[in-house]
Amino acid sequence: MSAASLAHIAAGRARFAADLAAFVRFASVGADPRRRDDVAACAGWLAGRLRRAGLRDAALARTPGHPIVHASWRGAPGAPTVLFYGHYDVQPPEPLHAWRTPPFAPALAGEDLVGRGACDDKGPVLCHVAAIESHLATSGRLPANVVCVFEGEEEHGSPHLPAFLRAHRGRLAPDVAVMSDTRMRAPGWPAIIEGTRGAVSFEVELSRSGDELHAGQFGGAIANPLEALCAVLAQLHDERGRIAVPGLYDRVRVLPPREHARFAVDAPTDGELLRAGGSDDPAGEAGFSAYERTTVRPALTVTGLRGGYTGPGTQSAVPAGAQARLNLRLVPDQDPQEARRLVCARLRALTPAGLDLAVRAGPGSRATTIDRSHPAMLAAARALREAFGREPVFIRSGGSIPIVDVVQRLFGVPVVLMGFALPGDGMHAPNERVNLPTLHRGTAACARFLELVAAAGLPAEKELAA
């Protein structure tokens, strides 16, 4: 790799940390309407950062939701075009009491920077920016053409990104996409993600007629939607930890023994996965490892429930309604719309007579599989090996990046998921953090990837799309 570019990255470490702190300070919770101004300010800051990096056309594209920050450099005719994708929105910070430092007041803890969004996905986005800057600042050009697309709605399902990509399909025309909001295998051990789970989120509400009622005067004689909802949710898993939704497993692939064997070598062990979660309370489907449960098997998680009174003191009332949130993770060949229908049907079947059920669910996303033998994947593997000094492993992610499926289908190109979060960085959790030395190596890997992919002779877009 260009020594000048590498030196530029090394010299820029302090500035990188300061940039990341500034980026994390924006409370860009895209799903929270009260945070609209914070999200907009964050987008503006990011566009400015891209311009300072040398991408002078950096700008905001308006959407019905939050703006998309985009930028490009097209100075390498004949070279491939790399789409860097990331997101500047973050998960809600709740529960706030669990944060040791405020979520939007970035704090240094050893070599980590702590704050909501630090690793998902602001740190990795800055890796992309700094990688581009390292070439432009030292040689005035990039090894390959680059387009950046950083959205503000990833954490609530990217509702407006597909339309943007479709509208600008011809102009964007990437030969490969790079996304970095995934995890490494372990500290110092890089990983390339060979597939992601899909996801569908549900909001479920059970209610009866009438208001809250005195639990003394009515307790024992009035339907209790909160108790009914508990009973419904308790019936969504069977005693072997399988999701008790008829038909949901019909399309799930049987795990071939050789894959099971490969996972036993490459994939995180149960112990590693639990330690990464800071928990020693495993659970799940009998007959599968924790890695398999979180990657090649679907999962249904009750992520929230609220009903009745839980404030200070006692209010003894029979609630009139209760709400739950469910999150379903899907594996290859499962169809989000079909899965949504099956879950809704099951919820309806479990709802007691007399109570009203309301379910809202988004369109959801598909699981993906990424071709490991594609030249761009091999270039990424080499870039990571050079940056981290260790051969990367190909693993699946249990998380969902809906846009991976969209990009693969729309452009017919692979998505290289080379992420720099570490197990235990607490994506979506309180005290989210990112390891700064890992991000510096990640920046070097992204910079080197641009050189390697330019030399790799990628198949032309038209061939692939044919």
Question: Using the rule CB under 8 A, is 86 a contact of a copy of itself?
Answer: no
Q: Which residues inside 360-419 make contact with a copy of itself, applying CB under 8 A?
A: 397-400
Question: Using the rule CB under 8 A, is 222 a contact of a copy of itself?
Answer: yes
Q: Is the dihedral of CA 335, 340, 345, 346 positive or negative?
A: positive
Question: Using the rule CB under 8 A, is 350 a contact of a copy of itself?
Answer: no
Question: Using the rule CB under 8 A, is 272 a contact of a copy of itself?
Answer: no
Q: Which residues inside 157-176 make contact with a copy of itself, applying CB under 8 A?
A: 157
Contact region with a copy of itself (CB under 8 A), list: 105-113, 159-167, 276-284, 407-415 = 276-284
Contact region with a copy of itself (CB under 8 A), list: 64-72, 273-281, 341-349, 377-385 = 273-281
Question: Using the rule CB under 8 A, is 39 a contact of a copy of itself?
Answer: no
Residue 308 has which token pair?
């009745």
CB of 301 to a copy of itself, least distance (A): 4
Question: Using the rule CB under 8 A, is 229 a contact of a copy of itself?
Answer: yes
| Residue 427 to residue 418: CA distance in whole angstroms | 16
Question: Using the rule CB under 8 A, is 269 a contact of a copy of itself?
Answer: no
Distance spanning both ends of the chain, measured CA to CA: 34
**Structure-token match 């599989």, residue found:** 369
| Residue 197 to residue 332: CA distance in whole angstroms | 7
Q: Where are the alpha helices (DSSP H) in 91-185?
A: 123-139, 161-167, 169-172
| Residue 207 to residue 348: CA distance in whole angstroms | 13
Question: Using the rule CB under 8 A, is 66 a contact of a copy of itself?
Answer: no
Do the bridges between strand 191-196 and strand 368-369 make them parallel or antiparallel, or are there none, so unpaired? Answer: antiparallel
Do the bridges between strand 213-214 and strand 356-361 make them parallel or antiparallel, or are there none, so unpaired? Answer: unpaired
Question: Using the rule CB under 8 A, is 186 a contact of a copy of itself?
Answer: no
CB of 224 to a copy of itself, least distance (A): 6
Map residue 128 onto helix, strand or coil.
helix
| Residue 446 to residue 172: CA distance in whole angstroms | 19
| Residue 418 to residue 191: CA distance in whole angstroms | 6
Contact region with a copy of itself (CB under 8 A), list: 49-57, 127-135, 223-231, 370-378 = 223-231
Smaller CB separation from a copy of itself, 146 or 339: 339
CB of 339 to a copy of itself, least distance (A): 14
Question: Using the rule CB under 8 A, is 109 a contact of a copy of itself?
Answer: no
Q: Which residues inside 426-465 make contact with a copy of itself, applying CB under 8 A?
A: 426-431
Total residues at interface with a copy of itself (CB under 8 A): 101
